[in-house]
């Protein structure tokens, strides 16, 4: 039986979405992930059971739900826009949000895209691009699609890199005429707590190295200030769910109260 050990594992996010669709269907449902799960089980015999960490499984779906909220808002304003999903793995973003007009781009390593294409065939208005996050040739490839506004989603990604790398990434996005970037980021306190948890309970997980305490100070490092930017509470989408375990509810409320993990939305 293959062991799911790391949030970086390509199947872990899928497992979390399926788990939440079953256990917390009033909060999140993902029919395509559930359908894909059956095929994954057939091929590599993963097991979804009570032994899995409820918080970790739910966190995957919360990330997906947050992505969906920004995508839906973006497409209401830009129905022909392009949505770029950084480190897409087996994400079903297009299937959850497609309006029949938007373009969808999945950025990931060649190895992970090969796995993706086993279970999610590339469809019309969709492109899979095998590039690293800092291999900016993907920007030129996306620009070939057209001049429509672009939404770049980088949730669960930046935390593993250095601040100067993130600054460079954001500066490079200005090559688009009209671009919006959404990413999540820990505060220094949130990073410390999470790294302690990783050291104690999940040693195969990669340690977090990037945080932002004061966004105003962070944007001073950018070559150009965004035209608009806003911070959002990360867990606001789920905190009112009455079926949550009390331990999870406490974690979500504490995190949002002290801004230990937040969503950043910037536009150029």
Amino acid 111: pLDDT: 94
Domain ranges, ordered by start, for the chain: 66-267
Q: Which CATH superfamily is domain 66-267 in?
A: Vaccinia Virus protein VP39 (3.40.50.150)
Contact 211, 190 (CB under 8 A): yes
Q: Of 17, 13, 16, which Cα lies nearest the Cα of 29?
A: 17
Amino acid 3: pLDDT: 33
Contacts of 165 (CB under 8 A, 6+ apart): 134
Contact 84, 151 (CB under 8 A): yes
Amino acid 4: pLDDT: 32
Q: Record the pTM.
A: 0.92
CA distance 137 to 204: 31
Q: Of 252, 244, 258, 259, which Cα lies nearest the Cα of 54?
A: 244
Amino acid 46: pLDDT: 60
Amino acid 45: pLDDT: 63
The Cβ of residue 143 has, within 10 Å, a number of other Cβ atoms equal to 14
Question: What string of pLDDT tens digits covers the 268 residues of the chain?
Answer: 233 333 347 888 999 999 999 999 999 999 999 999 888 887 776 665 554 688 888 999 999 999 999 999 999 999 999 999 999 999 999 999 999 999 999 999 999 999 999 999 999 999 999 999 999 999 999 999 999 999 999 999 999 999 999 999 999 999 999 999 999 999 999 999 999 988 887 766 789 999 999 999 999 999 999 999 999 999 999 988 888 889 999 999 999 999 999 999 999 9
* pLDDT tens, residue by residue, 220-231: 999 999 999 999
Amino acid 251: pLDDT: 93
* Cα–Cα distances in angstroms (integers) from residue 172 to residues 129, 133, 138, 169, in the given order: 17, 11, 11, 5
CA distance 253 to 237: 11
Amino acid 146: pLDDT: 93
């Amino acid at each position: 039986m293959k062991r799911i050990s790391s949030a970086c594992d390509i199947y872990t996010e899928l497992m979390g979405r399926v788990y939440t669709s079953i256990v917390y269907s009033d909060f999140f449902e993902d029919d395509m992930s559930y359908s894909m799960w059956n095929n994954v089980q057939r091929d590599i015999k993963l097991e979804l059971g009570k032994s899995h960490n409820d918080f970790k499984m739910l966190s995957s779906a919360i990330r997906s739900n947050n992505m969906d909220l920004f995508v839906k808002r973006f497409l209401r304003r830009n129905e022909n826009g392009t949505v770029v999903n950084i480190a897409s793995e087996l994400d079903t973003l297009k299937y959850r949000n497609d309006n029949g007009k938007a373009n969808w781009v999945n950025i990931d390593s060649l190895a992970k895209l090969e796995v993706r294409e086993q279970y999610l065939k590339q469809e019309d208005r969709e492109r899979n691009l095998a590039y690293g996050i800092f291999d900016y040739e993907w920007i030129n490839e996306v620009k070939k699609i057209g001049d429509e506004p672009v939404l770049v989603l980088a949730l669960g990604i930046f935390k593993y890199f250095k601040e100067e790398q993130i600054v460079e990434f954001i500066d490079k996005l200005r090559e688009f005429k009209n671009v919006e970037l959404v990413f999540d980021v820990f505060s220094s306190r949130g990073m410390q707590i999470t790294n302690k948890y990783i050291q104690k309970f999940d040693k195969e997980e990669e340690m977090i190295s990037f945080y932002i305490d004061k966004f105003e100070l962070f944007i001073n490092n950018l070559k150009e200030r965004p035209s608009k930017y806003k911070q959002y509470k990360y867990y606001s989408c789920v905190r009112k769910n009455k079926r949550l375990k009390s331990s999870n509810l406490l974690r979500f409320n504490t995190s949002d109260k002290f801004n230990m993990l937040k969503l950043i939305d910037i536009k150029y």
